[in-house]
Structure formats: C-alpha cells, structure tokens
C-alpha cells in the first residue's frame, strides 16, 4: 500500500495488448480521475526460457515488441490522447510475479479477465487468478464489454 501522506494513489494496470487489458486501462482511468490517482500502465516482457536457441536462430526484439504493444494499447484505450496521469512502464519480468510484486506499492491492481496467454476456455486467466490470491492490495478483474452478462 502507499504510505500515509503520499502525494497520489497508484493504480497499476497489467497491459498485454488484449481487449481485456485495454478495457482494464479504461476502467482504471475511470476510477483514477475522481481519486486523483496515477495509472501505471505496465507491460511485462522477458526472454523465453529457450532464449539461447532464439539467439542462434537470429530472433530478437522481445523488449521492442513489448514496448510497441504497450504503446498501441494505450493509444487504443485513450484514442491517441493519453491522459497526463497515465504513465507507461515497460518491465522485464513475468507478468504474474511482477504484478504481485508491483501490488506491494500500489493502492489497486487492475487486470483484464483474460489476456494473450493460456487456454481460452479458462474462466479466469492465470495472471488474474494469481493476483486475486496473492496481491498485497485490492485487485479489480475487468471483463471486456462483450463478456459482460446480458440483462434478463
């Protein structure tokens, strides 16, 4: 949690470029405005565990591509006019562990229900379910508009 007397609240958002993470960015901003909070749009990247094999094949650019995805997601979420309280961060590390660590200094973590990983049939993604279980602050799991239940 942020310390007493901190100049602003911090809402950390996990961004992977998926529709769910873009909606999470929008929802975090809706919450941040009346609270005067900063929105930390965090994208995570790391080299694959078989990185040496990729180097031998000449494949690189993991960090650069993650940065492009983050920039595209922020632009999509806010229509190219990024609010001044939104700060983009590119972080090397696995999303699950890195977001749990980021939750130590956050007032809230916001993530999409499902991102670009795992099996599509899971009800809650592995990152969001790990955060719900292990975060050090409140967690908001956001559904994309088409995933929201219909009124009966």
Is residue 151 included in any domain, yes or no?
Answer: no
Q: CATH number for the domain including 132?
A: 3.40.50.620
Domain count, the chain: 1
Q: Is residue 84 part of a domain?
A: yes
Is there a domain that residue 148 lies in? no
- Provide the domain limits for residue 86: 10-35+45-142
**Considering the domain boundaries, does residue 4 fall inside one?**
no
Q: Please indicate, yes or no, if residue 133 is contained in any of the structural domains.
A: yes
Each residue's pLDDT tens digit, 77-121? 999 899 999 999 999 999 999 999 999 999 999 999 875 544 443
pLDDT of 123 > 60? The answer is no
Tell me what pLDDT residue 115 has: 57
The secondary structure of the chain, three-state, reads CCCCCCCCCEEEEECCCCHHHHHHHHHHHHHHHHHCCEEEEEEEECCCCCHHHHHHHCCCCHHHHHHHHHHHHHHHHHCCCCCCCEEEEEEECCHHHHHHHHHHHCCEEEEECCCCCCCCCCCCCHHHHHHHHHCCCCEEEECCHHHCCCCC
């Amino acid at each position: 949690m942020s310390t007493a007397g901190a100049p602003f609240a911090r809402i950390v958002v996990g961004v992977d470029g998926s529709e769910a993470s873009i909606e999470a960015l929008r929802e975090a901003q809706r919450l941040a405005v009346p609270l005067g909070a900063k929105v930390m749009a965090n994208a995570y990247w790391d080299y694959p565990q078989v990185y040496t094999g990729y180097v031998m094949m000449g494949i690189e650019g993991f960090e650069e591509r993650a940065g492009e995805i983050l920039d595209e997601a922020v632009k999509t979420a806010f229509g190219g006019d990024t609010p001044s309280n939104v700060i983009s961060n590119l972080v090397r590390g696995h999303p699950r562990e890195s977001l749990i660590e980021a939750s130590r200094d956050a007032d809230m973590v916001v993530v999409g229900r499902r991102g670009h990983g795992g099996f599509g049939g899971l009800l809650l993604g592995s990152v969001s379910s790990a955060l719900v279980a292990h975060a050090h602050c409140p967690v908001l799991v956001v559904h994309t508009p088409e995933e929201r239940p219909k009124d009966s």
